[in-house]
Structure 1
Amino acid sequence: MKSTFKNILFNFRDTIGALLVAIKHPEVSVWSKIIIAVAIAYALSPVDIIPDFIPFLGYLDDAVILPFLFFLAIQSIPQPLFEECKLKAKNAFKKSFGFVMLGLLFVLVAWVIIAGIIYAFVALILRIIKL
């Protein structure tokens, strides 16, 4: 079970990377690039067709529309070209892994600093009102 879930996650990462490489590839048709752009924009957008606060339906649209858009994007690219883009994405990820970890470290340090500032501010306010 673990290996299957892990494979799904890594395949998803590779698929997203391959789509990002494919959108820049000159042999990919304009129609395919539009589908890829819509799929990636919908995945990253905080705006949904059905808002998430509507019980069940809000999450159902993400569970149905997003995989469908990615399926369309993958099917619109010829398979050999998609495999080439997937390989390029894997190599790019391996090369940039150190930068990704550095960025992650930067974000974590920023969150710790922000949490410390909020803690100090709340402590100061509580001291002023003497609670």
Structure 2
Amino acid sequence: MQKVKAWAKKLKQQVLVLYLAYKHDRVPRYAKLFTACVVAYALSPIDLIPDFIPVLGYVDDVILVPLGIMMALKMIPREVIAECEIKAEELMKKDKPKNWVAGTVIILIWVAVLLWILLNFPFGMGFAGAV
């Protein structure tokens, strides 16, 4: 159980490193875009595969998120990662970092996607196509 906790803590720290790297000037634009997607997905309460589906539900948490983190870290210059790792460690020691703006943006994106789906695909509930 201790190994699982250590792995989860390392994963959280890596997501924080990616978030800090996303805001760094020396990170290429394509890496920023990919990094933003990985961080948003890792922090999002909505999964590609819902957790209630046996076995497959945790595939994204155990495979997709770490794979995305690994790929994003390879796109970012090593010096930037080292710099962001130091900042992330400091933030993790002080207090758990909270970014209400990022959280709000993620929630608004999911709400917009849900509204778009509801308004564009009639589900027999009278949401769309009533004209």
Give the TM-score of the pair, scaled to structure 1. Answer: 0.61
2:49 alignment partner in structure 1: 50
- Superposition map of 1:108-119 within 5 A: none
Structure showing the higher helix proportion among its residues: 1
- Equivalent residue letter for 1:78: P
1:81 alignment partner in structure 2: 80
Q: Residue 90 of structure 2 aligns to a residue in which SS? A: helix
Give the Cα separation in 2 of the matches to 1:26 and 1:46: 29
Higher relative contact order (CA 8 A, sep 6+): 1
Root mean square deviation of aligned Cα = 2.2
* Structure with greater Cα Rg: 1
Give the TM-score of the pair, scaled to structure 2. Answer: 0.61
2:69 alignment partner in structure 1: 70
Aligned-residue identity in percent = 39
How far apart are residue 76 of structure 1 and its match?
0.9
- In structure 2, the gaps of 5 or more residues are 97-131
Bigger mean CA offset, 21-30 vs 40-49 = 40-49
Give the Cα separation in 2 of the matches to 1:9 and 1:31: 27
- In structure 1, the gaps of 5 or more residues are 101-131
- Superposition map of 1:1-131 within 5 A: 2=2, 4-5=3-4, 7-95=6-94, 97=95, 100=96
How far apart are residue 92 of structure 1 and its match?
3.1
Change (3 A) 1:7 1:84: same
8 Å Cα contact 1:43-1:66 kept in structure 2: yes
Equivalences, count? 96
Give the Cα separation in 2 of the matches to 1:85 and 1:64: 23
Q: Deviations over 1:75-109 (max 9, x none)?
A: 111222201111122223334x2xx5xxxxxxxxx
